[in-house]
Amino acid sequence: MLDEWIRGEKSEDSKYPLLSSKKGRLLLVIIICIGLLALLWPSTSKPDSSPTQVAQPLASQAKEGSLKHSLQTELAAILGQIEGAGIVEVSVTLDSEGIKTYATNNRDERRQIEESGSSTIEESSTRDLAVSSGNPLLLEEKLPNILGVLIVADGAGDPQVKENLTNAASTLLDISPHRVRVMPREGGR
């Protein structure tokens, strides 16, 4: 039957009259091609590919604001799990942006020039930033010091909850408890 269809021969006893005409066969070929094209065509709708926020290592955080924000967010999430704390907000005060020390290449040159009985000494030094794979070579990075922490919590009216919040924050941040202030939220318990 396929041979007959390819050669264009007509069969008198055809069960499918649509295939016996030239237009019918052309329509069938077009429908098959569209079907194959639909199967092979890449899907235009993508699943939710929005990037998820992942805590970045400190080396990739560009400014104090992002370090400060991530520190506050993480601390509030942890302190909010303390029994009786309720909703917790945290504000952290840092003394600086931290200190980054980069490797450098130092070159010192010293030349002695003698001209008609007098001699002069020229000294020059150059200091270039050492680069590895196109990025400056970071030797050391020190976090900024934490000056103080303010915690506002619903349950801070309870002395035991207030003490638990103070101890947890001072332990997590490795600062003395007198640098942590816990205050009750307006309208809280």
**What CATH number does the domain containing 171 carry?**
3.30.300.30
- Report residue 62 as tokens: 């560009």
Q: Are residues 88 and 161 in the same domain?
A: yes
Cα–Cα distance for residue pair 8/6, rounded to 1 Å:
5
Close Cβ partners of 6 (under 8 Å, ≥ 6 residues apart): none
Q: Are residues 79 and 147 in the same domain?
A: yes
Which pLDDT score is estimated for 4? 63
pLDDT digits (tens, 9 = 90+) for 40-65: 876 655 444 333 233 333 333 444 45
pLDDT digits (tens, 9 = 90+) for 118-158: 888 888 888 888 888 888 888 888 888 889 999 999 988 89
Residue type, 137: L
Report the percent of the chain where pLDDT is more than 90.
26
Is residue 146 a contact partner of residue 92, using CB atoms and an 8 Å limit? yes
Mean pLDDT of 170-180: 92
Q: In terms of residue numbers, what domain contains 28?
A: 2-40
Pick 91 or 8 by higher pLDDT. Answer: 91
Residue 105 falls within a domain, yes or no? Answer: yes
Give the total number of structural domains in the chain: 3
Is residue 120 a contact partner of residue 138, using CB atoms and an 8 Å limit? no
Is residue 152 a contact partner of residue 89, using CB atoms and an 8 Å limit? yes
Q: Are residues 93 and 107 in the same domain?
A: no
Whole-model pTM: value is 0.50
Close Cβ partners of 31 (under 8 Å, ≥ 6 residues apart): none
Q: With a cut of 90, say whether residue 91 has pLDDT above it.
A: yes
Residue 48 falls within a domain, yes or no? Answer: no
Which pLDDT score is estimated for 58? 38
Which pLDDT score is estimated for 162? 92
Q: Are residues 66 and 124 in the same domain?
A: no
Residue 160 falls within a domain, yes or no? Answer: yes
Residue 77: which pLDDT band, with cuts at 50, 70 and 90?
very high
Residue 53 falls within a domain, yes or no? Answer: no
Residue 52 falls within a domain, yes or no? Answer: no
